[in-house]
Amino acid sequence: MYTCCMYSFETKIRVRYGETDQMSFVYYGVYAQYYEVGRVELLRSLGVTYKELEEMGFALPVVNLNINYKKPAYYDDELTIRTTIKELPSAKITFYYEMFNANNELLNIGEVVLVFVNKKTGKPCFAPEMAINKFKEKLA
Amino acid sequence: MYTCCMYSFETKIRVRYGETDQMSFVYYGVYAQYYEVGRVELLRSLGVTYKELEEMGFALPVVNLNINYKKPAYYDDELTIRTTIKELPSAKITFYYEMFNANNELLNIGEVVLVFVNKKTGKPCFAPEMAINKFKEKLA
Amino acid sequence: MYTCCMYSFETKIRVRYGETDQMSFVYYGVYAQYYEVGRVELLRSLGVTYKELEEMGFALPVVNLNINYKKPAYYDDELTIRTTIKELPSAKITFYYEMFNANNELLNIGEVVLVFVNKKTGKPCFAPEMAINKFKEKLA
Amino acid sequence: MYTCCMYSFETKIRVRYGETDQMSFVYYGVYAQYYEVGRVELLRSLGVTYKELEEMGFALPVVNLNINYKKPAYYDDELTIRTTIKELPSAKITFYYEMFNANNELLNIGEVVLVFVNKKTGKPCFAPEMAINKFKEKLA
């Protein structure tokens, strides 16, 4: 699903028991993991794997995380993570998130910004040509 | 440490092996747990325990999480979480965070907003008088 | 797949970034979560959901966990969890595990024993008739 | 605290909210993290840090984990992990565990076996002289 200059990818995830807390909600910190799964699968859908990026010598640390929690998720829920990109990666890359439960209720929205780092020098760098091209195919 | 209308509390935390990832950094989602430790200990320093709040019939789900990551933390680092409150709790309560490593380098800053919910009705509600009074003593 | 008096069910799981540690291995404690996914999906394949058991008033705390680690799993690996039951649930239930990577290498074997507890009384109890019958269909 | 041929070290740990599950118990997989804290602090008490061992070129993957759960731990509990060694490290090292809550109730007992691996070759190897000597001082 995409419109001009926007590409979204949906991944499903099943809530594990250990991800709930004693409020019976999914613990608020667990969504960082879910969001990670969302972006990894979006990249895979473009033909880029995060693993490959690391093997090419890049690391992608997160520099910003923002989550707006609207409704809780519960044990055994099957959640849908919709991950969206809106611009080409440059020195950084931003992923937008919406999560839904099986009743299609919006649970939370969020945003994660990552930067490209050269693993050898530890310095910030630009996204590799290869990744930019994959993005171009979808965002053009 | 506090100035007029602001109260900060510092907690130390040691990075566990399982909290690192293959980049050798503390995984970005782990900070949500560290932040939780920070606010729980700030509350305890005021004479309020989160456990007690739950026993009084309140739940405090997080409605917003924001983290700006500046530098990574590493395995076995002893980190300092400085948690700050700037206003009395009402229907919600906001905690501000700064984390430092042992070299006093600022690792990240963040903000967490929680709301008070009546556990029986599941409805939003006001912070209990007791908690507000404890805050007043520090923020007055 | 089952033989007389034994029923196995296989589930696939993709290793998440946050589940690795700085050795680049999946952290040894994470397998407890994977094992939980294995047994939950085995139960689901029998027409029993763990969630339903809890709603019927049962809790199933783990009383024993044993894992023998043979080879590490890595980031982004697609793992297969083969979960096996060999006897009917009584006051307790035992799950046997074997995990494999995509090259079909055996990564670890393990065993988890859970007991049935009546959530109201907090006392140990017997597995519900319903669950025993579902197991009978497979293990007979 | 030690007797001939046995050395124990106690560490305290406070249960975090995200470590509980919807049964209100500490999730069974979390104890692997607590046990890790226990052995890291035992080593530190001997003047050996796990970090240092890694910097010397060793990795210590876990090859066996066994936990017997007797009683649950709850949110905000202050737990005591008593970690014990009974023999000198060789190609492997075994840690024995007992965990207690603030009422001194025994919550679980366990055992973790780790092996020494040469990080460069990936091959099993012997514990470094330095570590063996530190153990000797306590176990002699």
Active site residues of B: 21
Q: Which CATH number fits domain D2-139: 3.40.50.10310, 3.90.230.10, 3.90.1150.10, 3.10.129.10?
A: 3.10.129.10
The pLDDT value given to residue B53: 95
Compute the mean pLDDT over every residue in chain D, rounded to the nearest whole number: 94
Percent of chain D with pLDDT over 90: 94
Sequence-distant (≥ 6) Cβ neighbours of residue B110 within 8 angstroms:
B31, B35, B65, B66, B67, B68, B96, B97, B99
Burial of B8 (0-12, 13-18, 19+ CB in 10 A): middle
The tokens for C17 are 């970034």
Contact B41, A40 (CB under 8 A): no
CA distance D117 to B55: 48
Which residue type sits at A15?
A: V
Q: Does D118 touch chain B (CB under 8 A)?
A: no
The answer to whether residue B2 scores a pLDDT higher than 50 is no
Alpha-carbon distances, residue D131 vs A16, D26, D48, D92, D111 (angstroms): 39, 33, 7, 12, 20
Coil, helix or strand at residue B20: strand
Count other Cβ atoms within 10 Å, centred on residue A88: 17
Beta pairing partners, C110: C67, C97
Q: Where do runs of H (alpha helix) occur along chain A?
A: 31-45, 50-55, 129-139
Of A1-15, A75-89, A121-135, least confident by mean pLDDT is A1-15
- Give the mean pLDDT of C84-101: 96
Quick: pLDDT tens for D8-19.
999 999 999 999
Q: Kindly report the nearest CA distance between residue A121 and chain B, in angstroms.
A: 14
Spatial CA neighbour of C49 closest among D72, D69, D68, A15: A15
- How would you class D132 by CB atoms within 10 Å of its CB: exposed for 0-12, middle for 13-18, buried for 19 or more? middle
Is the ipTM of this structure higher than 0.90? yes
Domain ranges across chain A? 2-139
Q: Report the pLDDT value the prediction gives residue B4, as an integer from 0 to 100.
A: 58
Q: What is the DSSP letter of B99?
A: E
What is the dihedral angle through the alpha carbons of D7, D11, D17, D18, rounded to the nearest 10 degrees?
Answer: -50
| Number of B–D residue contacts, CB under 8 Å | 33
Q: Which residues of C are catalytic?
A: 21
Q: What is the pTM of this model?
A: 0.95
Decide if C20 touches B, using CB distance below 8 A: yes
Unique residue bearing structure tokens 């599941």: B122
User: Which residue from A18, A28, A29 is facing D27, i.e. has the nearest CB?
Assistant: A18
Beta bridge partners of B14: B78
Report d(CA B64, CA D56) in Å as an integer.
Answer: 42
Cβ neighbours of residue D45 under 8 Å, at least 6 residues apart? D9
User: Do residues A117 and A125 make contact, with C-beta atoms less than 8 angstroms apart?
Assistant: yes
- Confidence (pLDDT) at C28: 98
